[in-house]
Structure 1
Protein backbone atom coordinates (compact mmCIF):
# COMPACT_ATOMS: atom_id res chain seq x y z
CA UNK A 1 0.00 0.00 0.00
CA UNK A 2 1.50 3.34 -1.00
CA UNK A 3 1.72 6.43 1.17
CA UNK A 4 -1.23 8.16 -0.58
CA UNK A 5 -3.55 5.16 0.01
CA UNK A 6 -2.60 5.00 3.69
CA UNK A 7 -3.24 8.74 4.03
CA UNK A 8 -6.72 8.37 2.50
CA UNK A 9 -7.56 5.42 4.76
CA UNK A 10 -6.33 7.33 7.81
CA UNK A 11 -8.35 10.43 6.86
CA UNK A 12 -11.42 8.22 6.26
CA UNK A 13 -11.16 6.59 9.69
CA UNK A 14 -10.69 9.98 11.38
CA UNK A 15 -13.68 11.42 9.52
CA UNK A 16 -15.77 8.35 10.38
CA UNK A 17 -14.94 8.53 14.10
CA UNK A 18 -15.53 12.31 14.03
CA UNK A 19 -18.99 11.82 12.49
CA UNK A 20 -19.91 9.36 15.23
CA UNK A 21 -19.18 12.03 17.85
CA UNK A 22 -21.40 14.78 16.44
CA UNK A 23 -24.40 15.41 14.23
CA UNK A 24 -23.65 16.52 10.65
CA UNK A 25 -23.81 20.30 10.28
CA UNK A 26 -26.65 20.14 7.75
CA UNK A 27 -28.83 18.17 10.22
CA UNK A 28 -28.11 20.73 12.95
CA UNK A 29 -29.06 23.55 10.57
CA UNK A 30 -32.30 21.75 9.68
CA UNK A 31 -33.02 21.31 13.41
CA UNK A 32 -32.72 25.05 14.10
CA UNK A 33 -34.48 26.05 10.88
CA UNK A 34 -37.39 23.78 11.84
CA UNK A 35 -37.52 25.41 15.27
CA UNK A 36 -37.65 28.92 13.78
CA UNK A 37 -40.27 27.93 11.19
CA UNK A 38 -42.47 26.18 13.78
CA UNK A 39 -42.43 29.24 16.05
CA UNK A 40 -43.14 31.53 13.07
CA UNK A 41 -45.93 29.30 11.77
CA UNK A 42 -47.51 29.13 15.24
CA UNK A 43 -47.43 32.92 15.62
CA UNK A 44 -48.75 33.50 12.09
CA UNK A 45 -51.50 30.92 12.62
CA UNK A 46 -52.72 32.69 15.76
CA UNK A 47 -52.56 36.02 13.96
CA UNK A 48 -54.37 34.76 10.83
CA UNK A 49 -57.51 33.57 12.62
CA UNK A 50 -58.35 37.18 13.48
CA UNK A 51 -57.93 38.54 9.95
CA UNK A 52 -61.07 39.94 8.37
CA UNK A 53 -62.07 39.75 4.72
CA UNK A 54 -61.08 43.40 4.32
CA UNK A 55 -57.54 42.91 5.60
CA UNK A 56 -54.72 43.18 3.05
CA UNK A 57 -53.32 39.93 4.48
CA UNK A 58 -56.57 37.93 4.26
CA UNK A 59 -55.40 35.92 1.24
CA UNK A 60 -51.64 36.45 1.36
CA UNK A 61 -51.02 35.18 4.91
CA UNK A 62 -52.81 31.82 4.43
CA UNK A 63 -51.02 31.35 1.08
CA UNK A 64 -47.64 31.82 2.77
CA UNK A 65 -48.66 29.70 5.76
CA UNK A 66 -49.67 26.79 3.50
CA UNK A 67 -46.61 27.16 1.29
CA UNK A 68 -44.16 27.23 4.19
CA UNK A 69 -46.03 24.35 5.84
CA UNK A 70 -45.67 22.14 2.77
CA UNK A 71 -41.98 23.02 2.40
CA UNK A 72 -41.46 22.21 6.09
CA UNK A 73 -43.24 18.89 5.51
CA UNK A 74 -40.68 18.06 2.80
CA UNK A 75 -37.78 19.08 5.05
CA UNK A 76 -39.25 16.98 7.88
CA UNK A 77 -39.42 13.91 5.64
CA UNK A 78 -35.76 14.42 4.65
CA UNK A 79 -34.90 14.86 8.31
CA UNK A 80 -36.72 11.66 9.32
CA UNK A 81 -34.97 9.64 6.62
CA UNK A 82 -31.60 11.10 7.59
CA UNK A 83 -32.22 10.42 11.31
CA UNK A 84 -32.84 6.78 10.45
CA UNK A 85 -29.78 6.51 8.20
CA UNK A 86 -27.34 8.64 10.24
CA UNK A 87 -25.59 7.11 13.22
CA UNK A 88 -26.56 8.95 16.39
CA UNK A 89 -23.69 10.57 18.30
CA UNK A 90 -23.16 9.55 21.92
CA UNK A 91 -25.95 10.57 24.27
CA UNK A 92 -25.53 12.00 27.74
CA UNK A 93 -27.56 11.48 30.86
CA UNK A 94 -29.07 8.51 32.60
CA UNK A 95 -31.45 5.86 31.25
CA UNK A 96 -34.50 7.96 32.14
CA UNK A 97 -33.09 10.99 30.26
CA UNK A 98 -32.33 8.86 27.20
CA UNK A 99 -35.79 7.25 27.21
CA UNK A 100 -37.46 10.64 27.68
CA UNK A 101 -35.38 11.99 24.79
CA UNK A 102 -36.43 9.17 22.46
CA UNK A 103 -40.09 9.45 23.41
CA UNK A 104 -40.00 13.26 23.18
CA UNK A 105 -38.43 13.25 19.72
CA UNK A 106 -40.93 10.66 18.48
CA UNK A 107 -43.81 12.68 19.90
CA UNK A 108 -42.55 15.85 18.18
CA UNK A 109 -42.25 14.07 14.82
CA UNK A 110 -45.66 12.44 15.23
CA UNK A 111 -47.34 15.75 16.10
CA UNK A 112 -45.55 17.48 13.20
CA UNK A 113 -46.81 14.86 10.73
CA UNK A 114 -50.34 15.06 12.16
CA UNK A 115 -50.16 18.87 11.95
CA UNK A 116 -49.18 18.71 8.27
CA UNK A 117 -52.00 16.25 7.58
CA UNK A 118 -54.63 18.36 9.33
CA UNK A 119 -53.40 21.49 7.53
CA UNK A 120 -53.68 19.67 4.21
CA UNK A 121 -57.21 18.51 5.06
CA UNK A 122 -58.25 22.08 5.93
CA UNK A 123 -56.83 23.53 2.73
CA UNK A 124 -58.10 20.91 0.31
CA UNK A 125 -61.60 20.24 1.70
CA UNK A 126 -63.11 22.17 -1.20
CA UNK A 127 -61.12 20.14 -3.75
CA UNK A 128 -58.73 22.93 -4.73
CA UNK A 129 -54.99 22.35 -4.98
CA UNK A 130 -52.52 24.15 -2.71
CA UNK A 131 -50.21 26.51 -4.59
CA UNK A 132 -46.76 26.53 -3.04
CA UNK A 133 -45.49 30.09 -3.61
CA UNK A 134 -46.92 29.75 -7.13
CA UNK A 135 -44.00 27.42 -7.97
CA UNK A 136 -46.07 24.24 -8.09
CA UNK A 137 -49.39 22.91 -6.81
CA UNK A 138 -50.17 20.03 -4.47
CA UNK A 139 -53.46 18.48 -5.59
CA UNK A 140 -56.50 18.41 -3.36
CA UNK A 141 -58.83 15.44 -3.15
CA UNK A 142 -61.85 17.19 -1.67
CA UNK A 143 -63.84 16.41 1.40
CA UNK A 144 -63.44 12.94 2.92
CA UNK A 145 -65.78 13.56 5.85
CA UNK A 146 -68.59 15.99 6.57
CA UNK A 147 -67.36 19.34 7.99
CA UNK A 148 -63.78 18.29 7.22
CA UNK A 149 -62.48 21.85 7.11
CA UNK A 150 -63.89 22.73 10.55
CA UNK A 151 -62.91 19.45 12.22
CA UNK A 152 -59.40 19.50 10.74
CA UNK A 153 -59.10 23.16 11.75
CA UNK A 154 -59.88 22.35 15.36
CA UNK A 155 -57.43 19.42 15.35
CA UNK A 156 -54.81 21.66 13.71
CA UNK A 157 -55.25 24.27 16.46
CA UNK A 158 -54.76 21.78 19.30
CA UNK A 159 -51.88 20.03 17.55
CA UNK A 160 -50.12 23.39 17.10
CA UNK A 161 -50.40 24.06 20.84
CA UNK A 162 -49.24 20.51 21.59
CA UNK A 163 -46.20 21.04 19.38
CA UNK A 164 -45.33 24.30 21.14
CA UNK A 165 -45.58 22.57 24.54
CA UNK A 166 -43.43 19.64 23.35
CA UNK A 167 -40.78 21.89 21.83
CA UNK A 168 -40.73 24.00 25.00
CA UNK A 169 -40.15 20.85 27.07
CA UNK A 170 -37.47 19.82 24.57
CA UNK A 171 -35.74 23.18 25.04
CA UNK A 172 -36.03 23.00 28.83
CA UNK A 173 -34.50 19.51 28.76
CA UNK A 174 -31.56 20.85 26.73
CA UNK A 175 -31.08 23.66 29.26
CA UNK A 176 -31.25 21.12 32.11
CA UNK A 177 -28.50 19.09 30.42
CA UNK A 178 -26.38 22.22 30.02
CA UNK A 179 -26.83 23.98 33.37
CA UNK A 180 -27.68 21.17 35.80
CA UNK A 181 -26.08 18.04 34.33
CA UNK A 182 -23.26 20.10 32.78
CA UNK A 183 -22.92 17.73 29.82
CA UNK A 184 -22.44 18.42 26.10
CA UNK A 185 -26.01 17.82 24.86
CA UNK A 186 -26.73 21.48 24.05
CA UNK A 187 -23.20 22.13 22.85
CA UNK A 188 -23.63 19.24 20.42
CA UNK A 189 -26.62 20.99 18.82
CA UNK A 190 -24.83 24.36 18.79
CA UNK A 191 -21.73 22.77 17.27
CA UNK A 192 -19.60 24.10 20.15
CA UNK A 193 -18.19 20.77 21.29
Structure 2
Protein backbone atom coordinates (compact mmCIF):
# COMPACT_ATOMS: atom_id res chain seq x y z
CA UNK A 1 0.00 0.00 0.00
CA UNK A 2 2.71 2.51 0.96
CA UNK A 3 4.62 1.74 -2.26
CA UNK A 4 1.48 2.57 -4.25
CA UNK A 5 1.07 5.88 -2.41
CA UNK A 6 4.74 6.65 -3.01
CA UNK A 7 4.29 5.95 -6.73
CA UNK A 8 1.14 8.06 -6.95
CA UNK A 9 2.83 10.97 -5.18
CA UNK A 10 5.97 10.66 -7.30
CA UNK A 11 4.22 10.47 -10.66
CA UNK A 12 1.50 12.94 -9.70
CA UNK A 13 4.05 15.54 -8.67
CA UNK A 14 6.19 14.76 -11.72
CA UNK A 15 3.26 15.34 -14.08
CA UNK A 16 2.08 18.47 -12.29
CA UNK A 17 5.60 19.87 -12.19
CA UNK A 18 6.22 19.20 -15.89
CA UNK A 19 2.95 20.94 -16.80
CA UNK A 20 3.77 23.95 -14.58
CA UNK A 21 7.33 24.22 -15.95
CA UNK A 22 6.14 23.68 -19.52
CA UNK A 23 3.55 26.43 -19.25
CA UNK A 24 6.07 28.70 -17.51
CA UNK A 25 8.76 28.28 -20.16
CA UNK A 26 6.21 28.59 -22.98
CA UNK A 27 4.51 31.72 -21.65
CA UNK A 28 7.80 33.56 -21.12
CA UNK A 29 8.71 33.03 -24.77
CA UNK A 30 5.40 33.95 -26.39
CA UNK A 31 2.92 36.79 -26.49
CA UNK A 32 1.26 37.52 -23.14
CA UNK A 33 -1.67 35.22 -22.44
CA UNK A 34 -3.80 35.89 -19.33
CA UNK A 35 -5.11 32.32 -19.56
CA UNK A 36 -1.60 30.81 -19.40
CA UNK A 37 -0.54 33.06 -16.53
CA UNK A 38 -3.68 32.17 -14.56
CA UNK A 39 -3.20 28.46 -15.29
CA UNK A 40 0.48 28.62 -14.27
CA UNK A 41 -0.33 30.53 -11.07
CA UNK A 42 -3.29 28.31 -10.16
CA UNK A 43 -1.32 25.09 -10.67
CA UNK A 44 1.53 26.65 -8.67
CA UNK A 45 -0.88 27.36 -5.80
CA UNK A 46 -2.11 23.75 -5.91
CA UNK A 47 1.50 22.53 -5.99
CA UNK A 48 2.40 24.69 -2.99
CA UNK A 49 -0.62 23.38 -1.04
CA UNK A 50 0.24 19.75 -1.78
CA UNK A 51 3.99 19.88 -1.17
CA UNK A 52 3.49 19.42 2.57
CA UNK A 53 1.88 16.04 1.90
CA UNK A 54 4.81 15.06 -0.30
CA UNK A 55 7.38 16.07 2.30
CA UNK A 56 5.50 14.36 5.13
CA UNK A 57 5.33 11.13 3.13
CA UNK A 58 8.99 11.43 2.15
CA UNK A 59 10.07 11.74 5.79
CA UNK A 60 7.83 8.89 6.98
CA UNK A 61 8.72 6.61 4.06
CA UNK A 62 12.23 7.36 2.73
CA UNK A 63 13.21 6.34 -0.78
CA UNK A 64 14.37 2.82 -1.40
CA UNK A 65 17.23 3.94 -3.58
CA UNK A 66 19.36 1.77 -5.75
CA UNK A 67 22.53 0.76 -3.94
CA UNK A 68 25.40 2.74 -5.35
CA UNK A 69 28.90 1.52 -4.64
CA UNK A 70 30.49 4.53 -6.26
CA UNK A 71 30.83 7.43 -3.80
CA UNK A 72 30.76 9.94 -6.69
CA UNK A 73 27.40 8.63 -7.95
CA UNK A 74 25.94 8.63 -4.41
CA UNK A 75 26.96 12.26 -3.96
CA UNK A 76 25.42 13.28 -7.29
CA UNK A 77 22.22 11.37 -6.49
CA UNK A 78 21.95 13.07 -3.10
CA UNK A 79 22.60 16.53 -4.56
CA UNK A 80 19.94 16.01 -7.25
CA UNK A 81 17.35 14.69 -4.80
CA UNK A 82 18.04 17.41 -2.23
CA UNK A 83 18.01 20.06 -4.95
CA UNK A 84 14.65 18.85 -6.24
CA UNK A 85 13.12 18.79 -2.75
CA UNK A 86 14.43 22.28 -1.95
CA UNK A 87 13.10 23.65 -5.24
CA UNK A 88 9.72 22.01 -4.54
CA UNK A 89 9.40 24.58 -1.75
CA UNK A 90 11.36 27.56 -3.04
CA UNK A 91 9.80 27.81 -6.51
CA UNK A 92 6.16 28.15 -5.37
CA UNK A 93 7.17 30.65 -2.68
CA UNK A 94 9.04 32.77 -5.22
CA UNK A 95 6.15 32.48 -7.66
CA UNK A 96 3.65 33.58 -5.02
CA UNK A 97 5.95 36.45 -4.03
CA UNK A 98 6.33 37.45 -7.66
CA UNK A 99 2.60 37.48 -8.28
CA UNK A 100 1.68 39.06 -4.97
CA UNK A 101 4.30 41.81 -4.90
CA UNK A 102 3.72 42.63 -8.58
CA UNK A 103 0.26 43.82 -7.64
CA UNK A 104 -1.49 41.20 -9.77
CA UNK A 105 -2.58 39.25 -6.72
CA UNK A 106 -2.88 35.51 -6.29
CA UNK A 107 -5.83 33.44 -7.38
CA UNK A 108 -6.78 29.81 -7.72
CA UNK A 109 -8.75 29.42 -10.96
CA UNK A 110 -10.25 32.93 -10.55
CA UNK A 111 -10.92 32.46 -6.83
CA UNK A 112 -9.13 35.47 -5.39
CA UNK A 113 -6.71 34.65 -2.56
CA UNK A 114 -4.71 37.89 -2.56
CA UNK A 115 -6.45 40.78 -4.35
CA UNK A 116 -4.93 42.83 -7.14
CA UNK A 117 -3.50 46.20 -6.13
CA UNK A 118 -4.94 49.01 -8.24
CA UNK A 119 -3.82 52.64 -8.15
CA UNK A 120 -6.15 55.65 -8.58
CA UNK A 121 -5.92 55.34 -12.38
CA UNK A 122 -7.29 51.80 -12.20
CA UNK A 123 -4.04 50.14 -13.32
CA UNK A 124 -2.27 47.44 -11.37
CA UNK A 125 0.50 48.83 -9.20
CA UNK A 126 3.28 46.75 -7.62
CA UNK A 127 3.06 46.47 -3.85
CA UNK A 128 6.85 46.30 -3.67
CA UNK A 129 8.69 46.56 -6.97
CA UNK A 130 12.09 45.56 -5.56
CA UNK A 131 10.73 42.36 -3.98
CA UNK A 132 8.69 41.64 -7.12
CA UNK A 133 11.70 41.99 -9.44
CA UNK A 134 13.96 40.01 -7.10
CA UNK A 135 11.43 37.17 -6.78
CA UNK A 136 10.87 37.19 -10.56
CA UNK A 137 14.61 37.02 -11.26
CA UNK A 138 15.15 34.06 -8.94
CA UNK A 139 11.93 32.32 -10.02
CA UNK A 140 13.09 32.39 -13.66
CA UNK A 141 16.67 31.42 -12.80
CA UNK A 142 15.68 28.54 -10.55
CA UNK A 143 13.17 27.29 -13.13
CA UNK A 144 16.18 26.58 -15.35
CA UNK A 145 18.00 24.88 -12.47
CA UNK A 146 14.85 22.85 -11.81
CA UNK A 147 14.71 21.75 -15.46
CA UNK A 148 18.39 20.71 -15.37
CA UNK A 149 17.89 18.69 -12.18
CA UNK A 150 14.84 16.97 -13.65
CA UNK A 151 16.81 16.15 -16.80
CA UNK A 152 19.64 14.72 -14.67
CA UNK A 153 17.15 12.70 -12.62
CA UNK A 154 15.55 11.23 -15.75
CA UNK A 155 18.98 10.54 -17.28
CA UNK A 156 20.06 8.69 -14.13
CA UNK A 157 16.86 6.63 -14.13
CA UNK A 158 17.41 5.67 -17.78
CA UNK A 159 21.05 4.77 -17.03
CA UNK A 160 19.93 2.52 -14.19
CA UNK A 161 17.27 0.93 -16.36
CA UNK A 162 19.20 0.35 -19.59
CA UNK A 163 22.83 0.12 -18.48
CA UNK A 164 22.81 -1.07 -14.85
CA UNK A 165 19.58 -3.08 -15.36
CA UNK A 166 18.87 -2.80 -11.63
CA UNK A 167 15.08 -2.50 -11.84
CA UNK A 168 14.87 1.04 -10.46
CA UNK A 169 12.42 2.24 -13.11
CA UNK A 170 10.39 -0.97 -13.06
CA UNK A 171 9.82 -0.58 -9.32
CA UNK A 172 8.39 2.90 -9.88
CA UNK A 173 6.13 1.74 -12.72
CA UNK A 174 4.64 -1.52 -11.48
CA UNK A 175 1.34 -1.85 -9.64
1:68 paired to 2:43: yes
Counting only pairs closer than 5 Å after superposition, residues 1-193 of structure 1 correspond to structure 2 as 24-49=3-28, 50-52=30-32, 58-89=33-64, 91-96=66-71, 97-126=73-102, 129-135=105-111, 137=113, 143=127, 146-191=129-174
Structure 1: gaps spanning 5 or more residues? 1-18, 53-57
Whole-Å separation in 1 of the counterparts to 2:167 and 2:70? 16
In the TM superposition, residue 32 of structure 1 has moved relative to its aligned partner by: 1.5
Match of 1:5 in 2: none
In the TM superposition, residue 156 of structure 1 has moved relative to its aligned partner by: 1.0
- Decide whether aligned partners of structure 1 residues 120 and 177 sit closer, same or farther in structure 2, where only a CA change above 3 A counts: same
Structure 2: gaps spanning 5 or more residues? 117-125
Report how many residues are paired.
165
Match of 2:120 in 1: none
In the TM superposition, residue 76 of structure 1 has moved relative to its aligned partner by: 2.0
SS of match in other structure, 2:107 = strand
- Decide whether aligned partners of structure 1 residues 26 and 135 sit closer, same or farther in structure 2, where only a CA change above 3 A counts: farther
Check conservation: 1:115, 1:160, Cα contact below 8 A: yes
Whole-Å separation in 2 of the counterparts to 1:138 and 1:190? 39
Backbone CA RMSD of aligned residues: 2.6
SS of match in other structure, 1:91 = coil
Q: What is the TM-score of this pair, normalised by structure 2?
A: 0.80
